[in-house]
Structure formats: structure tokens, C-alpha cells
Structure 1
Amino acid sequence: MALTEQVRKALQLASKQQPHSFYAYDLDGLDQHLAGLESAPAKLWYAVKANPLSAIIQSLDARGFGFDVASLGELKQVLAQGVDPSRILNTGPVKTPEHLADFIEHGVRIFVLESHQQADDLAKIAREQQIRIQVLLRVQLPWAKDPEEKMNVLGGSNPTPFGLTPEQWMPDTFTLPDEFELLGVHCFQWGNILCADTLVQTWQAAMPKLNALLDAWQIPEPVVDLGGGLGIPYAGQQQELDWQRVCQGLEQLKSEFQLGQCWMELGRYAVGPYGYYASKVADIKDNQGVHFAVIEGGSQHLLRPALTTQAFPVESLQPCDSPLTSYQIHGALCTGLDCLGSLQLPDSLQRGDWLIFSQAGAYGFTESMPYFLCHALPAELTFSQSGINVLRPSAPASHYLA
């Protein structure tokens, strides 16, 4: 996961232009990756929560992705890039009547239902406006608890607020409003999986109960939305996901269960490897036998390591041949929780050197807590063969304090 020479040169140029920490996105690398995903035997949606930056949305739009949108803010950002509302899927556990009305007003007609209450609210609006709505039923399956399962942001085998059990969606329990066209089901409970066989086995284990629900509703050529969960390697020894095996698993699923379509909502896997977070070293010191590198940014810009205890890969932007040593990397917040990991860096590391965190194209800035302690916001920029484009410059706390 070392920086390519082309990426390093772009980041070196950007670092000379930026006074503070910044995010940078490789649009050429992203587009090449997205082109490779076009072979998927599935309809691909982009989970906008992963990264709602305009240039990222535009890149995915150009490659024909649909957009999985969970808030009015995301909706307006996607529409502002010229995306047709027919290519937007509304997901998320909370959809108030006001939320649903806003989405309907903006032309969205495909919704994932998380509860009977959501169905009632959406049907009322559709009835009043005399429109038809396409829906998927979000299913949460009970799984046997794995005592070795690590924390999973989607719940894994734990009960969550996402969806209902298959029994709660059966026709004898739930009445489908006349205003709805039932497309199929949505089922997604695990995230950031790197083993393609594990993904395929999870889908295969879920399908009998999902298929029983689809049969009960007698849906011709049903849709099964498998969500996302495709992982990217953060640690150096991890292998990349086998995309061809994923595609084989999807083909097998469609054939075996006679599905009309599989849908997937890609976030991290679509954009994660093509983003970088850059921050300067502010201090280097030893304390009780531990080497510390304290950077200007930190968890207020890159929160994931504090949430998951899994570090982003990092390297110094200044190439050198000095031996590597372990540094505990901390940020500018007044808490020991602001730790970005213990990672190998050159022992010649100096104050003022830039550190580059890779795999930061998803769940980076917008997942973090940029207002804590009133530090400057990081800039966001893109780079490609046409040069560097700063989409949002760094801004001081006065920009957002009231």
C-alpha cells in the first residue's frame, strides 16, 4: 500500500500549497477502479455516507452508479451534481413523515422500508399525491452469536434498529399498501469483509429465509439488495478482496434462487483506496520508553482509528532510507483517545514532515468530529492529470462558531 510515485508527487505539490491538514482524492485512480467494477452481475449503488464530496459523486455518476441516500443533505448534494432522482434509493433507519415528503417532493420513488410505521407514513403521502412507490423490505435475520466476533458497526449477529424479521414482513402480518410496488428485500448486517468466500457464504446462509419471504409475496423476478460490506485492507498483511470471486458468488446466487436482480450498495470498496489524509508532525518525543509523533490534525479529522482501534496505513511524504521505528501517533485533541495507531515510520522523522494516511477515501472527514476543540477544518482537494483542484479550502474556527 505504499504511495505510487505519481500519487507522491501530487501530494508533495499539494503539501506546498496547503498550510494545514488536508484530504486529497485521486480521481484518475478512482475512475480506473470504477471501470473495473462494471463487470458486476448486479446493479451497483454508491453509499453516499462513505464520502459525499461533489467530485466523488460526479465520478460515480459518470460510471453509471445509482445512489444510496440516507438524508436530505445527501439528497440535495447528489441532485446538485445533476443526478436524476430515478437513480436514487432512500435508505436509513429513520424516515420521518417530513423526511419522506421531502424525498417525494424531489422526485425519489424507490425506498427501503425499515418498519411498518415507515410503510404507513410513506403510503399516506403516496395516497395523497396519487403516486406509485417502489419499495424493498429491509430484513434483519437472527444469527447465532459468534463469541469471537469483533465489533461490527452494522450489528453483525446482534439485534439492531435496521429492518424487521422475515416473519414480521410476511403477508399475514403486513399488508402491502396499494400505492406500493414491492420489488424485493434488503438484507445487510456485516461490514468491511475482506474474504470473498465469507461474503458469499453469508449471502448463501441468508437466502433460504429471504427466499421464503419472496415466495410468500409471489414477486416475479425479485430484487435482493445485499447491501455492501466489501472491505479494503488497512493493515499491511491483509489481502485485497477477490472481486472476481464476488462476481461468481453473485451469479451463483441469481441462478440458484431465480432472482431478477442483485443490488449492492458500495461505499468503502468503491472509493476508500483513492483518498489520502495529510497532516504535519508538530512534535516528536519519547515518554516512558514510547516514541510519540504528535501531528497537527488527528481524530477530529480522522476518527475511525479511535472508533475501531484499527489504524490507517501511514508513511512519511518525505522519502528516505533511514531505518523504521515504531511511533505512537497522536493528534491535537486533549484526550489520550486521540490516537491514530502505533505504526512504523523512519527514525529520522522530524517536526514539519508530512504524514500521509492511505485508504482514507471513505469514512474520513465527514465521519469525524471536526468542531471539537475548535481547530481549523481540513481542506479537501482532488488531483488528476489535469492538476490539483481545491474543492473546499481549510477554514478557521471562526468559519463555523456562532
Structure 2
Amino acid sequence: MDHFGYRNGEMYAEEVPLREIADAVGTPFYCYSSATLERHYQVFTEAFAKQGLDLLLCYAVKANTNQAVIGTLAARGSGADVVSEGELRRALKAGVPAEKIVYSGVAKTAREMAFALESGIYQFNVESVPELHQLSQVASEMGQEAAIAFRINPDVDAKTHAKISTGKSENKFGVPWVHARDIYAEAARLPGIRVVGLDVHIGSQLTQLEPFREAFERVAGLIEQLRADGHEISRLDLGGGLGIPYDPTDPEPPSPDAYAAMVKEVVGHLGCRIIIEPGRLLVGNAGILVSRVIYVKEGEERKFLIIDAAMNDLVRPSMYDAYHEIVPVLETDEMPEPCDVVGPVCETGDTFARARPIPPLGSGDLLAIRSAGAYGAVMSSTYNTRLLVPEVLVKDGKFAVIRPRQSYEQLIGLDQLPDWLAQ
């Protein structure tokens, strides 16, 4: 569920008409709904509360790093899952307590480790033996102890897009589960390291529970072995990855209630504190990208709807062949016609939809690309010297610009000429 809908034939974000925002900030722009963010957080946490599980929800900041988005979730009690020093700084600045922050990622540097230790984060999710030794050295030199969980690669096929699968043996993430006992034993001997848990994350946009169940059953058995080896495993980080509905014709992904019940069934007996790192599930359907039609072009074999948003603004369709529902901001009774929705970037891949049935639109008309709150603005670029677009947050009947549109002076001013060209 989200809070974008039609009233009297016009699309609103909560109580604000999208046309009003477009007139104020121009197009294209991202629009996020506070009510949707808050509701998704509430539904997810309540699902685990019903099961009597001790839950720490850590929002996966990489999905959408805007301070206002992180802050909205932090105000509800959310922690954060971060994968860089920059994301850690964003989370702290947005109001996430350090003791609710988990640091993931395969390439943490010594500098990043030191900053995280100084900040007092909750846990490092360690992904390799070299990383373990680096963290031991940094923590020891600082006179601190790093609480760690190893990210275990369970070699489970998430049955999702190959570019967002993370739990197979061929992926770069985590340590092989078959070597886990030896690696935990090594960690227990190192200074500056305190083993507290186990972490697993098998991929993103999962629409079935079975891959989760298979991975969780595997790590549940491993935890029992590790405890028998003398390790105190009190935390179990189950990662994120639960999918959202992008295409309204597809079957609904599992609900948070069904997911939480499965977690209780498979790992509830372990008595661990459960850490979950949802990203897309919280913010994906809380955001849309609003764009304006520039031209309607009749090609030799197909019709093109050329809009002012492009692949540099929303790269998912180009990168993942991802589906996003595209709807007009003003409803119409006219019959949809198949057309290609494309942007201005000089790449054939700058395409949002091919042969998609869409009601007839003309130059100047507004459309909304739905489910764009996750991996949208955060993955945008300035390719073709296109400006980063504004982001807007709606709360009831108000809206605020939470990232202004970049100016050409700001963008081009990032370049610096060497002395020999400055003249």
C-alpha cells in the first residue's frame, strides 16, 4: 500500500496534488510520502512483535540515502544498516543512534573501521578473513573491542535477478558456510574482536519465502554447531531482501506477517536477537518519479513517448530491465496505446518501457513512474551533463524540497582546470 492515488481524476501524494509540486519545483522530480514510509515501518515491526521476537530493524541506507527519509524512519525507532563511512555519517546525522547501526560491506578500509569504532556502532558484519585481521589490528591499536558477526554465504539461490543475488558461492559476499567453524575459531583467538553473532543476506527483491527458509535453516544449524564449539552467539542478522510489487499484474510478494511467522518457525528456538535490514520494502513504494512529456514521436514501427526524465535519473530499467508502472497524473478514459517511454540521454538503453499500453498523452502532460523510492535518486548520475533532480517529501497537506535541483554552475564548477589550461 502507498499514499499516491487519484482524486477527481488527478493524482495526489497524500493531500498534495502532484501538479502543484510540479509547478513549484519543475520536472522531473522525486516525490516521497511520509505516511507510506511510516506505515511500512509500522507493519514490519508489528509483524515481528506478534511473534514475540526481539527485533532490531536496521534500515538499509543504500536504498535511499536522503537525510529526510532516514530521519523519518529514525523518528519511528529505526536503526541503520550501512556499507560505507559516508552512509554511516548520513545515518548519524539523520538521528540514528550509533548503538543501532550495523556496518556491512565487503571492502571496509582501516579508516572506515576506526571511524565506526569511534562512533560506537552496534556491530560489524565481517565478510572475509583479511577483513577480520584488519579489524583486529585497528581495534587493538585503539584499545577497543569490535563486536562482530560473520556474514555467511549459504550457497542458496535466491531465484532473483543475477545482478542482485548475493547468497550463492559464486558471489563476492560473505564467507563460505562450510568453512565457518574454522573462521569463528580463528576470530576467537584474535585481540580486539568479540564474536557476538551470525549474519546472512542472500539477495534483493525476493518474492518467495522458500529461499529465505533454506538459508535460515542452514544458518540455524550452524549456530547450534558454533555454540557447541564454545562461541556465544546471541545475535542473528537475517539481512533484507523481501520484495515489493512493481507490476500490478504480478502475484503479491509475501507479507511481513508471513515472513515474520517463517522466521519464528525456523530460528525462533535459538533465542537470538533478530536483526533485519529492509531497504526496498520500506522505501520502494513510498516514492515516485514525476516527469513531463517533451515530444510524442511516431516512428517507422512504433510510437515514442519522449519524457524529460532519463536513465541518469532512474537507472533500474536500463541496468536490470526492471519494470516500473507508468501512469498519467491526470486520469483519462481514452484507450491505452502501446508506446516506448524513453528519455533524452544519447543511449538506446535510455528506455523506461517498451510497447507499454499507456493512455494517449501529449507534449506537456505529466506522468508518474511508480515504485521509485528505492535505488532511484540514490543511484542517479549527471551523465550527458544532466542536473541531479530535486527530491520532495510530502507530509499530509504539505511538501518540502529535501534536495534542491542542482544548478549548472554547481555541476560544472566541480571540475578544476590544471595550471597549463587555466590561462
The alignment's TM-score, normalised by the length of structure 2, stands at: 0.87
Distance 2:256 2:123 in 1: 27
Alignment check: 8 A CA contact 1:203 1:226 kept: no
Q: How does 1:185-196 map to 2 (within 5 A)?
A: 185-195=198-208
The CA deviation at 1:400 is 1.9
Once the two structures are superposed, residues 28-64 of structure 1 have per-residue CA deviations (whole angstroms, 9 ceiling, x without a partner) of 2221221222222332110000001111111111221
Note if 1:248 corresponds to 2:261.
yes
The CA deviation at 1:271 is 1.1
Match in the other structure for 1:12: 19
Letter matched to residue 378 of structure 2: T
The CA deviation at 1:199 is 4.7
Alignment check: 8 A CA contact 1:312 1:357 kept: yes
Alignment check: 8 A CA contact 1:293 1:330 kept: yes
Q: Which moved further from structure 2: 331-340 or 185-194?
A: 185-194
Match in the other structure for 1:393: 404
Note if 1:26 corresponds to 2:33.
yes
Distance 1:225 1:391 in 2: 31
The CA deviation at 1:241 is 2.7
Match in the other structure for 1:43: 56
Distance 1:37 1:201 in 2: 18
Look up the SS of the partner of 2:164 in the other structure.
Answer: coil
Distance 1:179 1:114 in 2: 17
The CA deviation at 1:280 is 0.9
Look up the SS of the partner of 2:87 in the other structure.
Answer: helix
Note if 1:84 corresponds to 2:97.
yes
The CA deviation at 1:112 is 0.7
Cα distance change of structure 1 residues 25 and 224 upon mapping to structure 2, 3 Å threshold: same
Name which of 125, 139, 151 aligns with 1:126.
Answer: 139
Once the two structures are superposed, residues 337-386 of structure 1 have per-residue CA deviations (whole angstroms, 9 ceiling, x without a partner) of 11111222112x00111110111111101113x21000122101111125
Match in the other structure for 1:163: 174
The CA deviation at 1:75 is 1.3
Name which of 351, 370, 373 aligns with 2:384.
Answer: 373
Alignment check: 8 A CA contact 1:291 1:326 kept: yes
Alignment check: 8 A CA contact 2:195 2:233 kept: no
Once the two structures are superposed, residues 272-322 of structure 1 have per-residue CA deviations (whole angstroms, 9 ceiling, x without a partner) of 111010111111112122111111111100000111112211101122111
The CA deviation at 1:248 is 0.6
Letter matched to residue 4 of structure 1: G
Structure 2 gap ranges (5+): 7-11, 416-423
Look up the SS of the partner of 2:248 in the other structure.
Answer: coil
Look up the SS of the partner of 2:132 in the other structure.
Answer: helix
Distance 2:26 2:91 in 1: 30
Look up the SS of the partner of 1:117 in the other structure.
Answer: helix
Q: Percent identity?
A: 24
Alignment check: 8 A CA contact 1:54 1:77 kept: yes
The CA deviation at 1:17 is 1.0
Distance 1:203 1:304 in 2: 27
Match in the other structure for 1:356: 368
Alignment check: 8 A CA contact 2:207 2:243 kept: yes
Cα distance change of structure 1 residues 25 and 291 upon mapping to structure 2, 3 Å threshold: same
Note if 1:181 corresponds to 2:182.
no
Once the two structures are superposed, residues 1-32 of structure 1 have per-residue CA deviations (whole angstroms, 9 ceiling, x without a partner) of 89413427432211111223100100022212
Name which of 310, 317, 335 aligns with 2:329.
Answer: 317
Cα distance change of structure 1 residues 91 and 221 upon mapping to structure 2, 3 Å threshold: closer
Alignment check: 8 A CA contact 1:97 1:122 kept: yes
Match in the other structure for 1:206: 218
Match in the other structure for 2:421: none
Look up the SS of the partner of 1:228 in the other structure.
Answer: coil
Look up the SS of the partner of 1:321 in the other structure.
Answer: coil
Note if 1:59 corresponds to 2:72.
yes
Alignment check: 8 A CA contact 2:236 2:274 kept: yes
Cα distance change of structure 1 residues 193 and 142 upon mapping to structure 2, 3 Å threshold: closer
Distance 1:221 1:124 in 2: 23
Look up the SS of the partner of 1:283 in the other structure.
Answer: strand
The CA deviation at 1:245 is 0.8
Structure 1 gap ranges (5+): none
Distance 2:178 2:161 in 1: 28
Match in the other structure for 1:270: 282
Name which of 61, 65, 68 aligns with 2:81.
Answer: 68
The CA deviation at 1:200 is 4.3
Aligned length: 396
Name which of 298, 318, 335 aligns with 2:310.
Answer: 298
